[in-house]
Amino acid sequence: MSIVPATFDQRLLAQSIDITFLLPFLFILDGLWETDSNWFWAVCILLYHGYAVGMEASALKATVGKKMAGLSIRMDNGRPVSFKNAVVRNLCKWVSLLPISAGFFMIYLRRDARSFHDIVSKSKVVSSSE
């Protein structure tokens, strides 16, 4: 099995799949709260991050989108991502958005294709081809 860094396009595809996967849950929440309510958006953010942290720290080492795109997350040393590292990784995604998503576009500039939140959490998204 060869391990190579996931490209920006692969990661974007995985993110799109994850959002599509979560949409039915958001529609259910939409029925419970008005969408202009701060509670609605807070619950949506918690749902997304809870899903991402739970899946990345699980035995799957990936969200549904990452798994479907053939990607997984590992620590720099090759070990599985811990719950703590998954939390740090997902909290740092907010920092990656500032300014103008510069933390995400680091993937294009770095040979190892890591973003800001990957570096801070000492993790990497890899494409595994068997």
**3-state class of 127 per DSSP?**
strand
Work out the pLDDT band at 130, boundaries 50, 70, 90.
very low
- Give all strands of the β-sheet with 71-75 in edge-to-edge order: 2-5, 123-129, 71-75
pLDDT tens track for 71-95: 999 999 989 999 999 999 999 988 8
Put residue 10 in one of left, alpha, beta given phi > 0 → left and psi -120 to 50 → alpha: alpha
**Domain residue spans of the chain:** 2-129
Instruction: Indicate if the pLDDT at residue 112 is higher than 50.
Output: yes
DSSP one-letter code for 57: T
- Res 9: pLDDT: 92
pTM of the full structure: 0.84
pLDDT confidence of residue 99 = 80
What is the Cα–Cα distance from 57 to 36, expressed in whole angstroms? 32
Radius of gyration of the chain measured on its C-alpha atoms: 15
